[in-house]
Chains A and B, each alone.
Chain A
Amino acid sequence: MSQRILFGVFASEADILGVVRAAREEDLKVLDVYSPYAVHGLDQALGLKPSRLPWVCFLVALIGAVVKLWFEYWTMVVSWPVNVGGKPWDSLPAFVPVTFEVMVLSSGLSTVFAFLLISRLWPGRRADVPHPKVTDDHFVIALEESGAAFDPGRVQRLFERFHVVAVEERLVEETRPSERSRKMSVRTLNIALVVLLVGTLGLTWWLRPDPTQLNREFMPEMVRTPRYNAFEPNPNFPDGKTLRSPVPGTIARGMLPIHYQATPEDALRAGEELKAPFALNDERAIERGAVVYANFCQACHGPTGRGDGPVALRGFPAPPPLMTDRVLKMKDGQWFHIVTYGQGKMPAYAAQLSPEDRWNVIAYGRALQRRSAPPAAGGSQ
């Protein structure tokens, strides 16, 4: 089946808007309007339904944002938590930029593809241009030359009222795109695909890796930065070293230096000066101290502090029980000095125990003393 179409060419935006409105008022069937750019108000004049494209844009944006947010949550919290600057795993502000980018990318691309799909545009599609000037500065209305309302004379007068530039009549095949153009477009597409395939294969062959050669480096400045490695000599510093030493007096995090010698006099001095950083009857300190005691002290001092640990039982000189008068009267600070530097046959534990654990174990030692306080008279049972 074929269709007779009348094309009217107009020179201005106001004319095309006017002629479209007038034609629709006279019940003429307006098939389409061609214009070089989007004309404001034309879709209303044509009585078109509002485009559904914004919904594609909005929904895909929503889906893109939600999926990306979920993906970031899953990678950063569930699958592979990585500590970044001490931030919580689930750090929403850090997820926002990427979520935003993915949202814009997915909605932008899908809107363009949806537009191409709706308008049936694809590579090789034959352009359907009713008048060459429609790609420049003219506007074209397409009217169906049938129907009760169509009267050539009246249409002519209508066109002239809006300063028509040219009128053209054309017989158009109903089955559009025509068989010939469809075949053409399929052939063009196939050729394009073959060229693409050959090009890709050719490039792959040309750029094939040569295992006897080092990889080619493109812009190597990023990998090979001009810099001094940590242990290389360095002419820029007076001492000729690259690695800098900490500023004199630097204290490592969590360390508080104590200024005592490993002597009994200093142990007594520490007893006067050093105070525990927390209350020694603190439940949690005693609990932690019990663990430390079991790991480091029990072997000699025994499970209850009586100096009957397995090492002592096998003949190593036994330490005095913790419940003797002398030990009971020792100040906490002196204990700390003894745990830190050792005393008599007891070695130093500064290397094994953090200062906090030393205080914890003292808290436990005090707890042991309290537990056996009532029968203090029979210290050596």
Chain B
Amino acid sequence: MSPHQEFELSVETPGCLRVLLAVGALSALLGLVLAPARTWPMLLLASYALMGFGLAGVVFIAIQYVAGGHWSVAIRRIPEAMTAALPVGGIGLLAVVLLRPSLYAWSSHLPEPAEGWLGFKHAWLSYPFFLARTLVYLLVWTAFARAIVRASRQQDSTGDPALTHRNARLSAAFLVIFGLTFWLASFDWVMSLEPEWYSTIFGIYNFSGMFLGGLAAMAVLVVWLEKAGPLAGVVGPQHRLDLGRLIFAFSTFWMYIWFSQYMLIWYANFPEETSYFIARRGPYWTTLFVLNVFLNWVIPFFVLTPRANKQNPRVLTSASAVILLGRALDLFLMFMPPFAGNEFAFGIWEAGILLGAFALFLHVFLRAARQAPTVPVGDPFLYESFQEHG
């Protein structure tokens, strides 16, 4: 690494991160003993969120390779390091699914097809098949993530443009496979928590939230690393503007999909579909339900509309922080109502596990970021990416 010393990540792991990690681990362990009914769903949620941030990183890189987006080359190491969260979250998810299958009501008691269940759903929701699918999704995504990141790091020393072409081909294949598998994965892991309910748009809804959260995390990390040093002089207002535009667009996309799901279910008014929203409109939940729309769309939309706000590092990170909060709330609203019902509860276990997941993500991110120069020094389009900010 000696020739690229200037691009080494010189950021120390903040001390409070270890404290937060300990808090997270402690509240997870104590929670499993003292309040397992609340802790297990939270662990599932946290693992899914972690995995989502990693996956968003891969999707972002893949889209940039396929679309030939050169503006992002200078900041590509950030999403590349984010992908390290994918296997970590995946292991957590697998552990929860293996150790606590009763989170999924269908795993113990599967109604007979005669009770109104479609034969296909009956066959699909069998526990061994479910585990096999979980394993396949996670392995395939991790394999693609590793291959793309490895080729990108290899380019640092060789500078071989063929690696860029190889990654573009890998990315195209990944995006197609991701589109099909993530859709099914969100049905398996999230929608089947309420096995009698269904919404065909649920996969896209999950994708929009996952990618929006990933972009917001990326913006915060880019601005932080620019302030802290490793990306100073590399990242300019143009990169922030482009990231801000993507966040703006995907915040609106999230709203569009959220509303599409809500309005169609509201309009058709089928009891088997409305059950989802009725469970989320009970006492306590209504406030969160409305707040979700504000955090994920209303506030980011109006804050990020002017161009100057997207370029302003402080405003961009504030809007991203609001979105990250909204991401947590969106997941909370997706996972918890089937377990909590009207007994809404948010306390030390929930907060501790969320903080722990946040710290774990940062920790994994920093560890991965240290393994390579903070800028892809061998990428043939790096110069063009610098040029962007004049």
Contacts and interface: CB of A to CB of B under 8 A. Distances in A.
Interface of A: 14, 17, 40-41, 54, 58, 85-87, 93-94, 96-97
Contacts of A17: 390
A40 B238 contact: yes
B267 A94 contact: yes
A93 B306 CA distance: 28
Interface stretch (B83-91, B134-142, B258-266, B332-340): B258-266
A88 B288 CA distance: 24
B269 interface: yes
A356 B13 CA distance: 75
Contacts of B266: 93
B269 A41 contact: no
A97 B263 contact: yes
A87 B274 CA distance: 14
A40 B262 contact: no
Given A14-B390, A40-B388, A85-B267, 11 more contacts: A14-B387, A58-B305, A85-B269, A86-B269, A87-B267, A93-B259, A93-B262, A93-B267, A94-B263, A94-B267, A96-B263
A93 B263 contact: yes
A41 B263 CA distance: 42
Contacts of B238: 40
A108 to B, nearest CB: 15
Contacts of A97: 263
Contacts of B305: 58
A40 B390 contact: yes
B267 A96 contact: no
B390 A41 contact: yes
A55 to B, nearest CB: 10
Interface string B289-322: 0000000000000000110000000000000000
A85 B262 CA distance: 17
A58 B305 CA distance: 10
A14 B387 CA distance: 9
Contacts of B269: 85-86
Interface string B254-293: 0000010011001101000000000000000000000000
Nearest to B260: A97
* Most chain A beta-carbon neighbours within 10 Å: one of B263, B269, B305, B390: B390
Nearest to B262: A93
Contacts of B306: 54
Contacts of A94: 263, 267
Contacts of B388: 40
A72 to B, nearest CB: 14
Nearest to B256: A100
Contacts of A96: 259, 263
Contacts of A41: 390
Contacts of B259: 93, 96
A308 B269 CA distance: 53
A188 B306 CA distance: 40
A273 B180 CA distance: 61
17 contacts: A14-B390, A40-B388, A41-B390, A54-B306, A85-B267, A85-B269, A87-B267, A93-B259, A93-B262, A93-B263, A93-B266, A93-B267, A94-B263, A94-B267, A96-B259, A96-B263, A97-B263
Nearest to B306: A54
A173 B263 CA distance: 60
A377 B306 CA distance: 90
A96 to B, nearest CB: 7
Nearest to A58: B305
Contacts of B267: 85, 87, 93-94
* Most chain B beta-carbon neighbours within 10 Å: one of A85, A86, A93, A97: A93
Nearest to B308: A50
A70 to B, nearest CB: 20
B258 to A, nearest CB: 12
A323 to B, nearest CB: 49
Nearest to A86: B269
Contacts of B387: 14
A45 to B, nearest CB: 9
A17 to B, nearest CB: 6
B276 to A, nearest CB: 15
Contacts of A40: 238, 388, 390
Nearest to A42: B390
Interface in B347-390: 387-388, 390
A47 B267 CA distance: 52
A97 B267 CA distance: 12
A111 to B, nearest CB: 14
Contacts of A93: 259, 262-263, 266-267
B384 to A, nearest CB: 12
Contacts of A58: 305
A171 to B, nearest CB: 34
Interface string B216-255: 0000000000000000000000100000000000000000
A17 B387 CA distance: 13
* 5 nearest A-B residue pairs (beta carbon): A93-B263, A41-B390, A93-B266, A17-B390, A96-B259
Nearest to A44: B390
A96 B266 CA distance: 13
Contacts of B262: 93
